[in-house]
Amino acid sequence: MGTIRSGLEELWVLQRHQEPLQPVPLPLEKPLSEWPVPQFISLFLPEFPMRPVRGQQELKILGLVAKGSFGTVLKVLDCAQKAVFAVKVMPKIKVLQRDTLRQCKEEVSIQRQMNHPFVHSLGDSWQGRRHLFINFWCFAVCNYCCMDLYSLWSAVGGFPEASIRLFAAELVLVLCYLHDLGIIHRDVKMENILLDERGHLKLTDFGLSRRLSQGARAYTICGTLQYMAPEVLSGGPYNHTADWWSLGVLLFSLTTGKFPVAAERDHVTMLASVTHCKSEMPASITQELSLLLHELLCQNPLHRLRYLHHFQVHPFFRGVPFDPELLKKQPVNLVMDTQYTSGLESVPFKDFDCDLESWVHSISADSLL
């Protein structure tokens, strides 16, 4: 009688296997009917239920939205539903190696709670043999969520104040909504803001978010260095006000075409740079915008702008309706190329789960949507 491997051991074997593995479809009639459920499946339940194999007759890869250290986001067409969505793909083996299982489950739990016009809605989440999938539904038109704010910023540089004012108002409403629910995002940045075909934003990627009740404090150093507040870089304690610093960095960058502080190699060096740097505002921007940036990029979190009322009465937002439906009716004067799709469209696959691994790692930066 041979040695019986645990689910985790089987997962490691799958990762090291050199030959292409044939996908093993789950029975549609009785999914997960056997007991006990293998550990490499049960570990990710119930947030990531097991689903049968999906092939290229059901799903069509239209391109790459983003590729990061924690996963890849693909633009995919569901052929049956005629809907385009973004799906975040995370290898199970990396989730376990980096001990981020709890955070992945928290991401799904938080996203399911979201219901806001400027938050990217969660469509579904599931697991295959090798990957976890988080699906964010888009409109049925292919140009929805056509690019992220960072890609647009990289192409055009600074934005006019009218566009910055609208972006800022929409993000203020989103952050106030999250904080009222007791959620801190911890990774507000241009790459995590998608734009629809009319130029309005959708905040996405809650992979570093967590629930933080009023009065509670966090201590984990996480996020993107150039956007991290001083209190986060120092290891805390910090709370929801850290998100407002990140908003300040984002708006400063949209205004000037550069970050207030250059990126450093680690959080210790970054903290020193942030602490001793006094960001100079260009003479070309208005006093109202300059005041807003100074009040968001305040070293002392207690003195930082952080409540909706503060923004409603701020001179920079004079005349701005802080209502999602009214903001969505306002035009955004941006030029966005919504026709481009990457060469990934022609990549064949039999199993959306197992066949992804062989080519995701070879995707170049030129494939980004």
Of these residues, 78, 148, 187, 355, which one is catalytic?
187
> Cβ of 219: how many Cβ atoms within 10 Å?
11
**Distances in whole angstroms, Cα of residue 206 to Cα of each of 27, 85, 145, 183, 230:** 32, 17, 17, 10, 21
**323 is known as an active-site residue:** no
Query: Which tokens go with 125?
Result: 């989440």
Q: Tokens 């890609």 identify what position?
A: 151
CA atoms within 13 A on the CB side of 258: 8
CA distance 125 to 132: 8
- Using DSSP's 3-state secondary structure scheme, residue 134 falls into strand
Sign of the dihedral defined by the CA atoms of residues 234, 247, 207, 88, in that order: negative
CB atoms within 10 A of CB 273: 16
Helix spans in the chain (H): 7-16, 39-42, 92-97, 101-113, 149-156, 161-180, 230-233, 241-256, 267-276, 287-296, 308-312, 324-328, 356-360
Residue 283: CB partners within 8 Å, gap ≥ 6?
A: none
Query: How far is residue 333 CA from its own chain's centroid?
Result: 24
Residue with tokens 């984002």: 250
- Catalytic site positions: 187
